[in-house]
A and B are shown apart, each in its own frame.
Chain A
């Protein structure tokens, strides 16, 4: 077995340009067997372009797509052992559910008996036994996406591609479908590449998340790594909506740095490589604490609050900081602070991180 055969899917320096716009910039990625990898990023970050390049609908300007050791960069989509679940329903309206699921098998010339049993199996996998004779217009949005999933998985693809398959669904159905996807992934052991702009969905589903921004991989890692140790200000903001505050490192030694923020100095943990100069301080909103009264702490004024059920989301304007501080405070501890209240802003300094900042 060669080194490359270990990855069911490998991307090597994939670059794509639309005219002058670079949609993907040297994306390299190896996907492990049976892994559920999420390509996460805002719209326009290149994640869908990347997925379409893997599926074969687009050819990259540069770079290679390698499926199980075979370079498929120039292979048309119908000859690639991958299948896709699209964002909107793409069920064939002139065929019933059974025939939709059987489509790939019929094309592949699978014998009738085997085809029948594989279609039944696939429908059972997505919990739609007995739906075979239905037409797509008789299904709900969630059921349509389940059929699409069955239609793709029935072909036993080397890699299953999912292009924001839940984004058109209602929140409640979406949460149900997330659980279904996790179960289907566990039961099939297939390799999934999942595209989404929803960080919550990515955190809930993935074995590994690849954060994309402006066509570049910002960070790749487990959901836990990305959430707790974002590698860039973008990743920190996009995953978990963190406060990313420009600060100056006064000095750094032995894994702790003294930084100056809003006119005061605090001590936070840092990497060994951190040196004095400009930096980003990253603090998650749920670490932030608000308190009434005065004291040594940083002070601010509540500019906005929203009730989230389990707690409140605050925006607090702190003098000396260009952007309001975001804080998630659990409900139930006293009355919430109203808009305009003066509050003291504190947080567990050990739960904050430092990232290098240019200039």
Chain B
């Protein structure tokens, strides 16, 4: 595991890769604070001018609301359905579990383009008018397997003997879930919901196909890109980045916490 010799070449390549990955992000964030309309160096001073403009714009505010309108129900529905699916998977017979899990997780491998096109075709076939509702449904399809992946891992690591102990002490299956299963897995479920929310909030390709006349935040950026290019785009992108980052951090902290608690109870039990 431990490398005793560190080659300077490896370090240089790593550094270059990191710069390549993060420099564009840094430049994007930097220019969101630009005092002029230019998007290239030289940098001519800091200002919150573009932030004021973006927050003052009706277009931006309605796009944020639209994105929330989509991401909240999509991640909420994912939380409920995904938890149920994960619970069902972990309790199903071992013969069914493999094929079922495969079916549930398969959508992860589908390209967004494919998912978008097939959903549009499907919705038009059943005469379902494209609207934000179709976006919610499409996002549910998109984020569900990611959520399930985490929820299932959380449930698989639970000691089934704890649930048996609770049943033995008189708890009905519903109470076992509420008083023993849920209290142990909720941090991971909340974390997974944050990820689902972030995925939905940022999603572009599928949304592009199945949305009607509305505009989510990523779509607003895209349409603005076609008109003018000014630092307000950087501002919106930076805000999106900040939100995603915050959600990922929440998810990460929650996962880490439950992981630590688990490790502690395991080491003490042995």
Q: Contacts A77-B164, A94-B183; is A89 near B170 (CB within 8 Å)?
A: no
CB pair A55–B265 under 8 Å, yes or no, is no
CB pair B184–A90 under 8 Å, yes or no, is no
Name the residue on B nearest A107 (C-beta).
Answer: B170
Q: Could you tell me which residues of chain A, from 295 to 340, have a CB within 8 Å of some CB in chain B?
A: none
| 9 closest Cβ pairs, A-B complex | A104-B169, A90-B165, A137-B268, A93-B265, A94-B183, A107-B170, A77-B167, A78-B167, A90-B161
- Chain A residues whose CB sits within 8 angstroms of the CB of B264 once the complex forms: 137
Taking beta carbons and an 8 Å cutoff, which residues of B are in contact with A? 159, 161-162, 164-173, 175-176, 179-180, 183-184, 261-262, 264-265, 268-269
CB pair B168–A107 under 8 Å, yes or no, is no
A119 → chain B closest CB, angstroms: 13
Segment touching B, from A66-74, A80-88, A220-228, A264-272:
A80-88
CB pair B183–A57 under 8 Å, yes or no, is no
CB pair A139–B183 under 8 Å, yes or no, is no
CB pair A55–B168 under 8 Å, yes or no, is yes
CB pair A89–B269 under 8 Å, yes or no, is yes
CA–CA, A151 and B167, complex, Å: 13
CA–CA, A104 and B162, complex, Å: 13
CB pair A103–B168 under 8 Å, yes or no, is no
Taking beta carbons and an 8 Å cutoff, which residues of A are in contact with B? 55-57, 76-79, 82-84, 86, 88-90, 92-94, 103-104, 107-108, 136-139, 141, 144, 151-152, 155
CB pair B184–A103 under 8 Å, yes or no, is no
B158 → chain A closest CB, angstroms: 10
CB pair B168–A83 under 8 Å, yes or no, is yes
- Chain B residues whose CB sits within 8 angstroms of the CB of A107 once the complex forms: 169-171, 175
Query: Can you pick out 15 interface pairs between chain A and chain B where the beta carbons lie within 8 Å of each other?
Result: A55-B168, A77-B168, A78-B171, A78-B172, A79-B170, A84-B168, A90-B159, A90-B161, A90-B162, A92-B165, A93-B261, A93-B262, A94-B183, A138-B268, A151-B169
CB pair A83–B269 under 8 Å, yes or no, is no
Name the residue on A nearest B183 (C-beta).
Answer: A94
CB pair A144–B269 under 8 Å, yes or no, is yes
A318 → chain B closest CB, angstroms: 44
CB pair A104–B159 under 8 Å, yes or no, is no
Q: Contacts A92-B180, A94-B184; is A84 near B165 (CB within 8 Å)?
A: yes
Name the residue on A nearest B182 (C-beta).
Answer: A94
CB pair B170–A108 under 8 Å, yes or no, is yes
B152 → chain A closest CB, angstroms: 20
Name the residue on A nearest B180 (C-beta).
Answer: A92
CB pair A92–B269 under 8 Å, yes or no, is no
Q: Contacts A93-B261, A136-B268, A139-B268; is A88 near B168 (CB within 8 Å)?
A: no
- Chain A residues whose CB sits within 8 angstroms of the CB of B170 once the complex forms: 78-79, 104, 107-108, 155
Name the residue on B nearest A108 (C-beta).
Answer: B170
Name the residue on A nearest B268 (C-beta).
Answer: A137
A64 → chain B closest CB, angstroms: 20
> Given A57-B168, A78-B171, 8 more contacts at CB 8 Å?
A55-B168, A56-B168, A90-B161, A92-B162, A92-B166, A93-B184, A104-B169, A137-B264
- Chain B residues whose CB sits within 8 angstroms of the CB of A155 once the complex forms: 169-170
CB pair B169–A103 under 8 Å, yes or no, is yes
Which of B167, B170, B171 gathers most chain A CB within 10 Å? B170
A252 → chain B closest CB, angstroms: 51
CA–CA, A258 and B250, complex, Å: 83
CA–CA, A82 and B165, complex, Å: 11
CA–CA, A196 and B168, complex, Å: 20
CA–CA, A94 and B180, complex, Å: 8
- Chain A residues whose CB sits within 8 angstroms of the CB of B268 once the complex forms: 136-139
- Chain B residues whose CB sits within 8 angstroms of the CB of A83 once the complex forms: 168-169
Which of A93, A103, A136, A139 gathers most chain B CB within 10 Å? A93
Q: Which of A76, A88, A89, A137 is close to B167, meaning CB atoms less than 8 Å apart?
A: A76
- Chain A residues whose CB sits within 8 angstroms of the CB of B159 once the complex forms: 90
B106 → chain A closest CB, angstroms: 31
CB pair B164–A137 under 8 Å, yes or no, is no
- Chain B residues whose CB sits within 8 angstroms of the CB of A104 once the complex forms: 169-170
CA–CA, A93 and B175, complex, Å: 16
CA–CA, A155 and B159, complex, Å: 23
CA–CA, A151 and B176, complex, Å: 16
CB pair B269–A88 under 8 Å, yes or no, is yes
CA–CA, A191 and B172, complex, Å: 25
- Chain B residues whose CB sits within 8 angstroms of the CB of A90 once the complex forms: 159, 161-162, 164-165
A295 → chain B closest CB, angstroms: 55
- Chain B residues whose CB sits within 8 angstroms of the CB of A57 once the complex forms: 164, 167-168
- Chain B residues whose CB sits within 8 angstroms of the CB of A152 once the complex forms: 168-169
A15 → chain B closest CB, angstroms: 22
Which of A103, A144, A151 gathers most chain B CB within 10 Å? A103
B237 → chain A closest CB, angstroms: 40
Name the residue on A nearest B263 (C-beta).
Answer: A137
B157 → chain A closest CB, angstroms: 12
CA–CA, A82 and B161, complex, Å: 16
CA–CA, A76 and B261, complex, Å: 31
A157 → chain B closest CB, angstroms: 9
CA–CA, A138 and B261, complex, Å: 12
- Chain B residues whose CB sits within 8 angstroms of the CB of A103 once the complex forms: 166, 169, 171, 179
- Chain A residues whose CB sits within 8 angstroms of the CB of B269 once the complex forms: 88-89, 136-137, 141, 144
- Chain B residues whose CB sits within 8 angstroms of the CB of A77 once the complex forms: 164, 167-168
